[in-house]
Amino acid sequence: MVKTEYPIYWEKEDFSIKIFCSIPAIATGILLRAGDSKFVIDPGDGILRDLNDELHPDEILSITDVFITHGHHDHVGGVWSLLTYLRVMRKRTDLNLYYPEGCVEIESIYNAFRTVYSKSTSYQINLKKIMDYNRFTRRGVTINPFPVCHSEFINEGNETRLVPALGYKFGYKGKKICYGGDTAFCPELLKHAKGADLAILEAGEEEESGDGMHMSMEEAELIGNSAKEFFLVHVPQ
């Protein structure tokens, strides 16, 4: 596979996305900007360092929403450090944390954070469990969550099971960005990527494996070609 060089950046007027990193089993981290709004997507390990390089501290404090596709460590490993930084820097406004129903990793991180810092946190964390796929709006951005198909190995690699997992489509001023997170090839992803101004698609398998975990390069490109532009991420390095 061709090694992906990070960061990857896309911009249309005042709607932009920066993928700091997306390496399987290591880390993912994405910053979405729409006008004055700043959303973080899949804050894996290193997200705080990347945000600090990209933004002024006051801009980090202005982040309002975090979107989680699923609970694997390479997508949520930086949640604790981000929440703690916002506490240390005395964030005063709410933070919304969106995640798929059944994602116990996020609930566990939140519960541990509250146990340790409940008496010394200056801001409110709102857990937003996504239990349906209805479109909603945040700060002028429409968000359309949709189901994807991602599995993990259990029983020492002898079996697989489905992981609670989502993709998100973000719309702003007529432009649309579709991010599939980790997923095997699935109709919902194709549906939401089609016609999008940008599709961000993982290609975590060298070839079709049938294990329901990741797409191959060929599968990801097939979906990507249905969008106006696409990036392939989560390619093994």
pLDDT tens string 205-224: 876 666 668 899 999 999 99
Phi first, then psi: give them for residue 165, nearest 5 degrees: -150, 145
**pLDDT at 40 > cutoff 90:** yes
pLDDT for residue 206: 73
Q: What whole-number distance in Å separates Cα of residue 147 and Cα of residue 27? A: 22
Asked if the structure places residue 1 within a domain, the reply is no
Asked if the structure places residue 58 within a domain, the reply is yes
Q: What value does the mean pLDDT of the chain take?
A: 94
**Contact between 98 and 133 (Cβ < 8 Å):** no
**Contact between 69 and 102 (Cβ < 8 Å):** no
The mean pLDDT value for 177-199 works out to: 97
Instruction: Say which residues have a Cβ less than 8 Å from residue 60's Cβ, sequence separation at least 6.
Output: 51, 52, 85, 86, 89
The mean pLDDT value for 158-168 works out to: 89
CATH number for the domain spanning 129: value is: 3.60.15.10
pLDDT for residue 212: 64
Please state the domain count of the chain.
1
pLDDT tens string 57-102: 999 999 999 999 999 999 999 999 999 999 999 999 999 999 999 9
pLDDT for residue 19: 98
**pLDDT at 3 > cutoff 70:** no
Q: What is the pTM of this model?
A: 0.95
Q: Which residues are paired to 125 by β-bridges?
A: 95
The mean pLDDT value for 15-42 works out to: 97
pLDDT for residue 208: 65
Amino acid at 47: I
Asked if the structure places residue 3 within a domain, the reply is no
User: Is 105 in a helix, a strand, or coil?
Assistant: helix
**Which domain, by its residues, includes 51?**
8-233
pLDDT for residue 160: 80
pLDDT for residue 210: 61
Tell me the two tokens of residue 9.
Answer: 């950046």
The mean pLDDT value for 107-123 works out to: 97
Count of beta carbons in the 10 Å neighbourhood of residue 72: 21
